């Protein structure tokens, strides 16, 4: 374990004016509080807080953060209290320790709903003081470095949590070195065979070609010296997980993978960055499409650097990052650069971002999300996103995540522009709204008065901000219709049990279901987000209506006029229990589509033909056709067992067609008559559990989609 004097020496290296007495007192207090406690490895427990503090000294952080690291487990694991820490070490340290304690108690890898709620708490903690997250990340890094002492199942849980949450969070904060180490440590637990395989291939590559890093580094230094550029040049092989991820994304073998070496050039000035870039491009051939200028267009976390990929020795591709020393410091510590010290004073790095502004920009769109799943989606979209830079017609730059569309561009400029969007031009050419934007493109959004967001836009938009705005607009536009429909459903449901759906009753139901008021309840009821049974049960649990008698198939959909006939769309085969929308077709009545049907794109510009509908409550007969795509083993009796399995779940096979026959597997389409989505999931679950079923999934036939489009035209 590092001694107190050694830890103080580490801090004094970058902060000669450090409060040695405070750090020494915290060290002694933490050691006393954890006395007698041991880690899974058998080491004294206090070795862990000291190691976390040492990690934070590498980022040259302030005394309060170092002290917090030494004390971060005292409130949770010892008899220490918030009040005692506040009295001994000050209110600032006590608040930080309390914040870390609360984060430690969050189970971020739990169920989706719980995970979303815990993410909210995590971002709330970040918004109060970002140093809480810095301590927690260092805590997780040391735990991952010593993870071998844990039980195997605990190792796997912590590794997945690290890969899903902490590593992306470190990357989003600009701490790329920590992200890479966390990913690699987690990769070692999750897929050790793949990691060992990549390391072995690296060793073989070095044996065959020699260590190319010193050779390329010397070549670059020689070229820079020749034109009088003073710079440091470093090279390294990329981490095993980074290589493995590229192999998976590009579906390439290791031998075909390029760009496995990275080089960094640290210059004295910003002008030298661009001079160095020109020198590198003159000596080596630049790879098209692999250039990014984060110096002129920095990332939101303050990251600045020029990225380029060139063909180096023997045609091997290498990535080169070019930045100044100040840019490099921010690139190494990210948002943490705001608290770093040098020579006893807070480092005045012009590229360090204000943490308060950074966290505000990160969480701006999350606060508008009411639904847990939508909030979690928005967080993960923002956490995992890379960036592209596009231009407005006036030349202003708009930063967007990779994969963003013109809709995202419109909403990034202003919500009003995004909501009124009817089309877009990219580099002067009219393009569909689902077009993926690329770096450097000029985008013009075409708007029209009276245009409002369409439901299908949710599948087109990629950013959390755009999705939030679209959902909010859709909720507002439909709320009146949903409230009216919900009131009728509520009236019918309460009359069914001999009660009245008065305003007082609806308010009580809303309170029980944790909704704002009776109107919010009716809107949720009308939009099928909650059922009438749930509303009645909230007020009269003993009178909650049981499933009705079998629903008449001719009246299976609510929301149609008396004279409107309907039919299910062949392309998506919607089932009771699924969200649906009605499309009016001349001569065909109303065609019922699943809300996520790809075919709806064809009518997104015709809002007058869309109807808000939902399935009637009750027990639907098993008459709704659904096609399943099965891959089964070619063995005696397999097909018979599958048919029996389907029959046991009260599903009728209306058609069966073999699509592909191989010596070991058959692939076939099975048409089933089902009652609702729950019935379908029951059948699919049973089939998935069958050992001779290699794959089963619901089929959405592209031929049927094409036929539907033809009919629409």
Q: Could you report the per-residue pLDDT of 538-564, keeping only the tens digit for each?
A: 888 776 545 556 788 888 898 888 778
pLDDT band with cut points at 50, 70 and 90 for residue 708: very low
Tokens of 712: 């629409």
DSSP string, 28-91: HHHHHHTTT-B-TTSSBTTHHHHHHHHHHHTTT--HHHHHHHHHTTHHHHSS--HHHHHHHH-H
Give the range among 157-166, 536-545, 608-617, 623-632 with minimum mean pLDDT: 536-545
pLDDT of 228-253, one tens digit each?
Answer: 999 999 988 878 888 887 776 655 55
DSSP string, 188-229: HHH-HHHHHHHHHHHHHHHHHH--HHHHHHHHHHHHHHHTT-
**Closest CA relative to residue 594, chosen from 670, 705, 679:** 705
Dihedral pair phi/psi, residue 325, rounded to 5°: -60, -45
The two most distant CA atoms of the chain are separated, in Å, by 92
How large a percentage of the chain has pLDDT more than 70?
83
* Rounded-to-integer distance, Cα 682 and Cα 688, Å: 10
Tokens of 550: 């079998």
pLDDT of 214-234, one tens digit each?
Answer: 888 999 999 999 999 999 999
Q: What is the CA radius of gyration of the chain?
A: 30
**Closest CA relative to residue 532, chosen from 516, 548, 555:** 548
CB atoms within 10 A of CB 343: 9
Helix/strand/coil (H, E, C) string of 529-549?
CCCHHHHHHHHCHHHCCCCCC
Collapse the DSSP code of 611 into the 3-class scheme (helix H, G, I; strand E, B; otherwise coil) and give the result: strand
Q: Tell me the mean pLDDT in the region 349-368.
A: 56
- The β-bridge relationship of strands 285-286 and 306-311 is antiparallel
How large a percentage of the chain has pLDDT more than 90?
27
Q: Tell me the mean pLDDT in the region 4-16.
A: 90
**Closest CA relative to residue 326, chosen from 268, 263, 264:** 268
* Angle (deg, nearest 10), helices 192-209 and 176-190: 110
Tokens of 315: 């045609």
Dihedral pair phi/psi, residue 90, rounded to 5°: 100, 155
**Closest CA relative to residue 464, chosen from 529, 373, 356, 597:** 373
**Closest CA relative to residue 52, chosen from 121, 141, 113:** 141
* Residue 357: predicted pLDDT: 61
pLDDT of 454-471, one tens digit each?
Answer: 878 888 888 878 888 888
Strand partners, 423: 446
Strand partners, 58: none
C-alpha distances in angstroms, 237 versus 259, 260, 524, 683? 9, 6, 54, 49
Q: Tell me the mean pLDDT in the region 281-298.
A: 85
Instruction: Say which residues have a Cβ less than 8 Å from residue 686's Cβ, sequence separation at least 6.
Output: 645, 646, 648, 649
Give the range among 143-157, 190-204, 409-423 with minimum mean pLDDT: 190-204
* Residue 456: predicted pLDDT: 83
* Residue 89: predicted pLDDT: 93
Dihedral pair phi/psi, residue 318, rounded to 5°: -135, 145
* Rounded-to-integer distance, Cα 99 and Cα 129, Å: 9
Give the range among 26-35, 330-339, 344-353 with minimum mean pLDDT: 344-353
CB atoms within 10 A of CB 15: 23
- Number of DSSP helices (H) and strands (E) in the chain, helices first: 29, 23
pLDDT over threshold 70, residue 597:
yes
* Rounded-to-integer distance, Cα 229 and Cα 554, Å: 80
**Closest CA relative to residue 643, chosen from 624, 622, 628, 661:** 628
* Residue 495: predicted pLDDT: 82
- Torsion angle of the four alpha carbons 277, 275, 267, 355, in this order, in degrees rounded to the nearest 10: -70
* Rounded-to-integer distance, Cα 435 and Cα 181, Å: 35
Sign of CA dihedral 155, 161, 164, 168: negative
By the 8 A CB rule, do 15 and 56 touch?
no
Mean pLDDT of the chain: 81
Give the range among 29-43, 368-382, 459-473 with minimum mean pLDDT: 368-382
pLDDT over threshold 80, residue 16:
yes
Instruction: Say which residues have a Cβ less than 8 Å from residue 181's Cβ, sequence separation at least 6.
Output: 141, 144, 239
Q: Which domains does the chain have, with CATH numbers?
A: 4-190 (1.10.3210.10), 194-346 (3.30.460.10), 551-713 (3.30.70.260)
Q: Tell me the mean pLDDT in the region 364-378.
A: 51
* Rounded-to-integer distance, Cα 679 and Cα 578, Å: 12
pLDDT over threshold 90, residue 21:
yes
* Rounded-to-integer distance, Cα 511 and Cα 50, Å: 48
Unique residue bearing structure tokens 């199942």? 153
pLDDT band with cut points at 50, 70 and 90 for residue 259: low
Sign of CA dihedral 634, 637, 641, 642: positive
pLDDT over threshold 80, residue 651:
yes
Question: With 0-12 CB in 10 A as exposed, 13-18 as middle and 19+ as buried, what is 287?
Answer: middle
pLDDT band with cut points at 50, 70 and 90 for residue 704: very low
* Residue 265: predicted pLDDT: 95
CB atoms within 10 A of CB 417: 14
Give Cα 495 distance to the centre of its chain. Answer: 44
Tokens of 607: 């809002």
Strand partners, 583: 591, 610
Residues in the chain: 713
Q: Which helix (H) or strand (E) holds 483?
A: helix 464-496
* Rounded-to-integer distance, Cα 326 and Cα 269, Å: 9
* Residue 544: predicted pLDDT: 56
Collapse the DSSP code of 308 into the 3-class scheme (helix H, G, I; strand E, B; otherwise coil) and give the result: strand
C-alpha distances in angstroms, 151 versus 147, 148, 158, 190, 589? 9, 8, 11, 14, 61
* Residue 209: predicted pLDDT: 59
pTM reported for the whole predicted model: 0.53
Residues annotated as catalytic are 76-77
């Amino acid at each position: 374990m590092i001694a107190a004097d050694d830890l103080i020496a580490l801090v004094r290296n970058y902060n000669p004016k450090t409060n040695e007495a405070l750090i020494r007192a915290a060290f002694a207090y933490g050691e006393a509080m954890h006395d007698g406690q041991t880690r899974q490895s058998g080491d004294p427990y206090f070795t862990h807080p000291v190691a976390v503090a040492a990690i934070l000294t590498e980022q040259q952080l302030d005394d309060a953060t170092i002290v917090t690291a030494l004390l971060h487990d005292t409130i949770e694991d010892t008899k220490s209290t918030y009040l005692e820490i506040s009295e001994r070490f000050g209110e600032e340290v006590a608040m930080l320790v309390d914040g870390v304690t609360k984060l430690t108690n969050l189970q971020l890898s739990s169920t989706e709903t719980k995970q979303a709620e815990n993410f909210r708490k995590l971002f709330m903690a970040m918004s109060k003081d970002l140093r809480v997250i810095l301590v927690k990340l260092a805590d997780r890094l040391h735990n991952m470095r010593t993870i071998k002492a844990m039980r195997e199942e605990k190792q796997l849980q912590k590794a997945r949590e690290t890969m899903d949450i902490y590593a992306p969070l470190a990357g989003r904060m600009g701490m790329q070195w920590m992200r890479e180490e966390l990913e690699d440590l987690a990769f070692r637990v999750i897929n050790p065979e793949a990691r060992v395989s990549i390391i072995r291939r690296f060793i073989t590559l070095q044996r065959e070609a020699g260590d190319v890093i010193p050779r390329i580094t010397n070549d670059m230094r020689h070229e820079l010296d020749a034109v009088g550029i003073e710079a440091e040049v470093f090279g390294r092989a990329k981490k095993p997980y980074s290589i493995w991820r590229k192999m998976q994304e590009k579906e390439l073998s290791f031998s075909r993978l390029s760009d496995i070496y990275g080089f960094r050039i640290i210059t004295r000035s910003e002008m030298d960055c661009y001079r160095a870039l020109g020198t590198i491009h003159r000596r080596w051939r630049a790879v098209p499409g692999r250039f990014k200028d984060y110096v002129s267009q920095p990332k939101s976390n303050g990251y600045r650097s020029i990225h380029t990929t060139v063909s180096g020795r023997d045609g091997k591709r290498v990535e080169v990052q070019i930045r100044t020393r100040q840019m490099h410091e921010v690139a190494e510590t990210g948002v943490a650069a705001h608290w770093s010290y040098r020579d006893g004073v807070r480092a005045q790095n012009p590229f360090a971002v204000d943490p308060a502004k950074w966290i505000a920009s990160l969480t701006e769109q999350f606060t508008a999300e009411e639904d847990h799943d939508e909030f979690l989606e928005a967080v993960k979209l923002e956490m995992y996103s890379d960036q592209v830079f596009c231009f407005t017609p006036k030349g202003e730059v708009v930063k967007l995540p990779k994969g963003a569309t013109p809709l995202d561009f419109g909403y990034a400029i202003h919500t009003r522009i995004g909501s009124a969007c009817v089309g877009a031009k990219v580099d002067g050419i009219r393009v569909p709204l689902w077009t993926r934007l690329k770096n450097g493109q000029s985008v013009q959004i075409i708007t029209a008065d009276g245009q409002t967001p369409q439901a299908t836009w949710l599948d087109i938009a990629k950013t959390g901000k755009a999705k939030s705005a679209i959902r909010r607009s859709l909720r507002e536009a439909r709320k009146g219709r949903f409230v009216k429909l919900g009131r009728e459903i509520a009236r019918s449901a309460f009359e069914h049990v001999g009660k009245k759906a008065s305003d007082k009753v609806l308010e009580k139901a809303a309170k029980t279901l944790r909704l704002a008021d009776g109107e919010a309840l009716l809107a949720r009821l009308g939009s099928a987000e909650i059922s009438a049974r749930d509303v009645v049960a909230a007020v009269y649990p003993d009178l909650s209506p049981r499933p009705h008698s079998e629903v008449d198939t001719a009246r299976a959909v609510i929301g149609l006029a008396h004279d409107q006939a309907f039919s299910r769309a062949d392309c998506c085969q919607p089932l009771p229990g699924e969200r649906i929308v009605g499309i009016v077709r001349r001569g065909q009545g109303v065609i019922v589509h699943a809300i996520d049907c790809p075919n709806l794109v064809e009518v997104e510009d015709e809002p007058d033909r869309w109807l808000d509908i939902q399935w009637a409550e009750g027990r639907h007969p098993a008459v709704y056709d659904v096609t399943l795509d099965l891959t089964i083993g070619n063995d005696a009796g397999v097909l018979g067992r599958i048919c029996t399995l389907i029959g046991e779940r009260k599903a009728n096979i209306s058609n069966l067609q073999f699509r592909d026959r191989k010596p070991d597997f058959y692939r076939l389409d099975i048409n089933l008559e089902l009652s609702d989505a729950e019935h379908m999931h029951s059948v699919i679950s049973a089939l998935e559990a069958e050992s001779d079923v290699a794959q089963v999934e619901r089929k959405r036939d592209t031929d049927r989609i094409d036929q539907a489009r033809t009919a629409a035209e």
